[in-house]
Amino acid sequence: MTVDELLAETRHTLADTEAPATEARLLLAAALDRDRAWLYAHGGDPVPDAAAQQARTWARRRAAGEPLAYLLGTREFWSLPLTVGPGVLVPRPDTETLVEAALECIPEGEVRSVADLGTGSGAIALALARERPRATITATDRSPRALERARDNARRLGLAQRIRFLQGDWFGALGKTRFHVLVSNPPYVARGDPHLAALRHEPAEALIAGEDGLTDLRILAAGAPAHLLPGGWLLVEHGADQGAAVRALLEGAGFTAVSSLRDLGGRERVCRGRLPL
């Protein structure tokens, strides 16, 4: 079997996924331990049996709904290669909107303290640490498994010295410390949301936030003022239909300059607000 033949077969297996051609290339490249460019130049090469079997196994599991990132063990976020695996949310491209918005609140060259609450794989904290060498970064999660993963990613990227990792429930992890910037992508999916079926391989505790999806966003908005310095910023990611509700939560908690930002798909995805000076 040649590379091109196996690619065609894999595309067919993945026909019902979002991007069969791209995913087939990613799977086959990983099974062959090559990059995707190599596949283009070697379409007529024979595929070793072991690699073909690996590709077929992955393609079957992918077709049955496992996230590609869990199969490959890696996902790129903000151009950083992160390791990911079951038990930890796969970082999403939409969350780069949150990183961009947070960077606007952390002036380059200034010393700022930043906390990423519910860090998961470490995606947001690592992107901010990479972009803002003078910022001191704290990353928290309630899940020990997530924190272990985030620490491992920090080590691999040479950023372990830049980030303090704390385990605990939202603000409980922070003690009495106040920060310049608090950022979080909390769980925000409602318990009965039909969309959850497609997310069944990812941890429910990273996704589900009560009956209306706002439980954790309420806790974050209400608790943030006690953990921010005067003039400090809170930035949170939320569901596409939660913009108005989250603006109201931040305004209700005393934040000013409350505004929403849109993701790459044009949907309201991030809300930020500033404490009065």
Q: Least Å distance between CB 95 and ligand GLN?
A: 8
Residue 75: half-sphere exposure toward Cβ, Cα within 13 Å: 19
In the list 188, 217, 235, 250, the residue contacting ligand GLN (rule: CB under 6 A) is: 188
Number of residues that bind ligand GLN (CB under 6 A): 9
In the list 121, 153, 242, 260, the residue contacting ligand SAM (rule: CB under 6 A) is: 121
Q: Residue 187 interacts with ligand GLN (CB under 6 A)?
A: yes
Q: Residue 54 interacts with ligand GLN (CB under 6 A)?
A: no
In the list 10, 13, 54, 95, the residue contacting ligand SAM (rule: CB under 6 A) is: 95
Taking CB under 6 A as the binding criterion, the range among 1-9, 55-63, 66-74, 136-144 that sits at the site for ligand SAM is: 136-144
Distance of alpha carbon 84 from its chain centroid, rounded?
10
Question: Closest CB to ligand GLN among 55 and 141?
Answer: 141
Question: Closest CB to ligand SAM among 54 and 95?
Answer: 95
CB atoms within 10 A of CB 172: 12
CA distances from residue 143 to 1, 64, 214, 223, 265 in whole angstroms, order as listed: 44, 26, 20, 20, 30
The partner in contact with residue 59, picked from ligand SAM, ligand GLN, none with C-beta cut-offs of 5 to 8 angstroms by kind, is none
- Please give the angle made by the CA atoms of 203, 206 and 212, to the nearest 5 degrees: 115
What is the edge-to-edge ordering of all strands in the sheet holding 163-167?
163-167, 136-141, 113-117, 179-184, 228-237, 268-274, 256-262
Nearest alpha-carbon partner for 51 in 35, 36, 71, 31: 31
Q: Residue 235 interacts with ligand SAM (CB under 6 A)?
A: no
Binding mask 65-104 for ligand GLN (x = CB under 6 A): ---------------------------x-x----------
CB atoms within 10 A of CB 258: 18
Residue type, 190: A
Q: Residue 223 interacts with ligand SAM (CB under 6 A)?
A: no
Q: At what angle do helices 95-104 and 123-131 cross, to 10 degrees?
A: 40
Residues near ligand GLN (CB under 6 A): 92, 94, 185, 187-189, 199, 207, 237
